[in-house]
Amino acid sequence: MPTLTVPLAQRSYPIIIEPGLLARVGAHLRQAGLHHQVAVVTQPPVAASHGARLRAGLEDAGITPLVIEVPDGEASKSLAQASRLYDLLLQARFERGATLLAFGGGVVGDLTGFVAATYLRGIAFVQVPTTLLAQVDSSVGGKTAVNHELGKNLIGAFYQPRAVYIDPQTLRSLPPREYRAGLAEVVKCGFIADAGLVGYLEQEMNAVREQAPEALERMIQASCRIKAEVVGADEEDRTGRRAILNYGHTLAHAIEAVCHYEEYRHGEAVAIGMVCAARLSEEVLGCPGNLGERTLALLSALGLPTRCAGLSPARLLEAMALDKKVQHGRLRFVLLPRVGAAKLVGDVPTELVRRAIPV
């Protein structure tokens, strides 16, 4: 499979997508000069299912890693876990030339990236993502963070990895609900930047649902290509270009906040958010092609939720108003003028939003 590049001048880096790649990560690290001291940061389900294969490949390349497991779950994205990692790295005398390898889902990726950005003022890090969400979204782009009790991802840094190594075979052990949640971000990529990908998902639904190798390859490649392009154009989210990746996320963040991050996986909230954003795209931008219905049909066929029954629209609007995307009482949404194109719209009237929320 081809290698993609995130184009960031001297900090450009490759995204390699290849079945079975896990066993060859060690060789890639050596080739890239990232083999001197390596710490693998991982979570228990990933270590149990795939740790041995990664380690064997590292050892074949002459690398004996320090392996650090963090407890499973979002709570590990904390300053307390970061501090524990600093302690372990210092005790093992990790130096400036060391490499951190994030081996797991987005939780491990965000935490490891944050620690890599700050340990000794920054050491190399690579991503070996093992959830679909991490393979199509969080491992690319350099947003690293831990959570604060006042909100998610409030403490962090932009810090790019040196490489992203994606082995789609690791998804075989992923719980089906996590897989479906990751699909929501693939659907999002299609709607904002790749009409062909949306058509593919609609036509090859069975292959997608069953995780057929060719479907995984198509989806991961297309999503990473889009993310790489957007990040290359607007690395630090300053021009509005990177903001298009937030399609469906205005309502999603409100749903997650109102439910205290418990009831819905992030991707599930994004699915519901896309139904809302699709309806608004029709109303506000005159997006053609029955976008609302098309979105609903695709997401439900993929087993994703399409409405947030039981949540009060008033509370969701309140949560949206607290979000940083609100300006002068009008909500900002990423909307589609057509499938495959997206723009940030800064003045969506609250009443329209209320009617578009799928309850």
Query: Can you give the binding site for ligand NAD, defined by CB under 6 A?
Result: 43, 45-46, 49, 72, 74, 77, 104-108, 110, 130-131, 133-134, 137-138, 141, 143, 152-153, 170-171, 173-174, 178, 266
The nearer residue to ligand NAD, 183 or 287, going by C-beta atoms, is 183
> In this structure, are strands 143-148 and 151-158 parallel, antiparallel, or unpaired?
antiparallel
Please answer whether residues 13 and 163 qualify as being in contact, where contact means their C-beta atoms are separated by less than 8 angstroms: yes
- At closest approach, how far in Å is the CB of 284 from ligand NAD? 26
Q: Least Å distance between CB 152 and ligand NAD?
A: 6
Nearest to 105 by CA among 74, 75, 79: 74
CB of 351 to ligand NAD, least distance (A): 30
Judge whether 153 and 147 are in contact, CB under 8 Å: yes
Residue number with CB closer to ligand NAD (37 or 138): 138
Which CB, 65 or 141, lies closer to ligand NAD? 141
What minimum distance in Å lies between the beta carbon of 286 and ligand NAD?
A: 30
Give whichever of 137 and 235 is closer to ligand NAD, judged by the CB atom.
137
User: Token pair 């079975």 is at which residue?
Assistant: 20
Cα-based angle 167, 169, 174 (whole degrees, multiple of 5): 110
**Residue 223 Cβ vs ligand NAD, minimum distance, rounded to whole Å:** 12
Taking the least distance from each CB to ligand NAD, the nearer of 35 and 225 is 225
Gyration radius (Cα) of the chain, Å: 20
Q: How far is CA 126 from the centre of its chain?
A: 15
38 contacts 101 by C-beta, under 8 angstroms: yes
DSSP structure string for 188-244: HHHHHH-HHHHHHHHHTHHHHHTT-HHHHHHHHHHHHHHHHHHHHH-TTS-SSTGGG
Residue 270 or 284 with smaller CB distance to ligand NAD = 270
Beta carbon of residue 144, minimum distance to ligand NAD (angstroms, whole number): 6
Amino acid at 15: I
Between residues 132 and 197, which has the closer beta carbon with respect to ligand NAD? 132
Please give the Cα distance from 202 to 208 (Å, whole number): 9
Contacts 24+ apart (CB under 8 A), 265-270: 265/177, 265/178, 265/181, 266/133, 266/181, 267/133, 267/180, 267/181, 267/182, 267/183, 267/184, 267/185, 267/304, 268/180, 268/181, 268/184, 268/304, 268/305, 270/184, 270/185, 270/188
For ligand NAD, the closer of residues 114 and 200 by Cβ is 114
Q: How far is the CB of 91 from ligand NAD (least distance, A)?
A: 25
Minimum CB distance to ligand NAD smaller for 218 or for 266? 266
Two tokens, residue 333: 């949404």
